Amino acid sequence: MCIFAQISLQAMSHQHFILHKPYGYLSQFIYELKRKKKLLGELYDFPEGTMAIGRLDEDSEGLLLLTTDGKVSEQIRSKKVDKEYFVQVDGIITQEAIEQLKKGVEIGFNGTKYITKPCESRLILEIPNFGVRGKKIRDERHGPTSWASITVNEGKFRQVRKMTAAVGFPTLRLIRVRIGNVHLNDLQSGEVIEVENFNVKNDNQIDK
């Protein structure tokens, strides 16, 4: 193979990563304001041009996909892909509250009221083993907490947190565990793995 063909192949090859984003990190590589923030580049030696596909808030944790391929990023963000979150909430969440979440609840968005789309939600009876968060949530003496799973395919600003607050159980900790068919599994906080591609398509989605 001639040297020009080798260079062309190198230019065409892209890299894809799965990250367990820790608490306290922005889902970006550059922060232009003066205030010091923790950025993704501090977690791993990502190649130049790596971008996060979507985002997780600074105080959220869990599954984040990254790629050097802008087309892949655009394709995934444009699809209605299910995103599942495990949330630790203030108080013992009830089945009634779960049913409300599934039907849709009213939240504030862009200064107006918005009814969330029907979604999947369930109680989590066994406490997930995600380890200790970077910042302590609170002392147990301040009352009990519980866990629930919420799966949505829309991405309004801080939507899941607003949803649990709307049914009377504010979110204390939020961890994304799945994007389509890509799962967090046992990936530890701050850990990165490189993959060949992202198969994010939901089980019920059919190629068109």
Domain boundaries, the chain: 14-79+182-195, 83-179
- The pLDDT of residue 11 is above 60: no
- Catalytic-role residue among 57, 69, 90, 207: 57
Give, as one character, the DSSP assignment of residue 208. -
pLDDT score at 121: 98
Contacts of 29 (CB under 8 A, 6+ apart): 39, 40, 41, 46, 50, 51
pLDDT score at 204: 54
Q: What is the pLDDT of residues 66-101, one digit of tens each?
A: 999 999 888 888 778 899 999 999 999 999 999 999
Q: What is the mean pLDDT of residues 176-200?
A: 93
Query: What class does CATH assign to 14-79+182-195?
Result: alpha beta
pLDDT band at 59 (very low <50, low <70, confident <90, very high): very high
pLDDT score at 207: 42
pLDDT score at 75: 84
Tell me what percent of the residues of the chain surpass a pLDDT of 90: 66
pLDDT score at 5: 41
Q: Do domains 14-79+182-195 and 83-179 have the same CATH topology?
A: yes
Report d(CA 159, CA 179) in Å as an integer.
16
pLDDT band at 111 (very low <50, low <70, confident <90, very high): confident
- CA-nearest of 63, 26, 18, 66 to 42 is 26
- CA-nearest of 54, 78, 86 to 201 is 78
- The pLDDT of residue 10 is above 50: no
Our answer to whether residue 57 is catalytic in this structure is: yes
CATH 1.20.1250.20 fits 83-179, yes or no: no
